[in-house]
Amino acid sequence: MAIVKEFKEFAMRGNVVDLAVAVVIGAAFSKIVSSMVDDIITPAILTPALKAAHLTNLAELVIPGTAIKYGNFLSQIISFVIVAIALFLIVKAINVTKKKEADVPPPPAPPTKEEMLLTEIRDLLAKK
């Protein structure tokens, strides 16, 4: 029973729950980015290049006389670069937001009890 209790305490700590949420959101975000790269950006960039090479698919780019398909490799490199740029822009936007939040000065601390008492004493002495 002690093991179950320890596991429950471990699993319910903030860091573990935050990590689990981040993994799930990351997986969903990965699908969105992959779709954007595979279905929108890569075809927009590669369609003119493929037409210039008189090809319809990147898989057709092979070294003649071999089974080396460098077209698929080029596609993966392009996808990686596009994903890296997208993530860089997202992280940069988040950092700008955090910097704006950090630039806001904290409100001044309220006066301590001693300062309040000294202020009252000063005011009383000023009345005399």
Provide the 10 A C-beta neighbour count for residue 39.
10
Residue 125 lies in a domain: no
Residue 109 lies in a domain: no
Residue 110 lies in a domain: no
Cα separations in angstroms, 83 against 36, 41, 92, 94, 122: 9, 10, 14, 17, 65
Residue 122 lies in a domain: no
Write out the H or E segment, with its range, that includes residue 91. Answer: helix 70-103
Residues in contact with 126: Cβ distance below 8 Å, sequence separation at least 6, in sequence order: none
- Tell me the residue range of the domain where 9 lies: 2-104
Residue 50 lies in a domain: yes
pTM over 0.85: no
- In the chain, the number of structural domains is 1
- 22: domain CATH number is 1.10.1200.120
> What confidence tens digit (pLDDT) does each residue in 5-46 have?
888 777 777 677 777 778 888 888 888 877 877 788 777 777
Residue 60 lies in a domain: yes
Residue 48 lies in a domain: yes
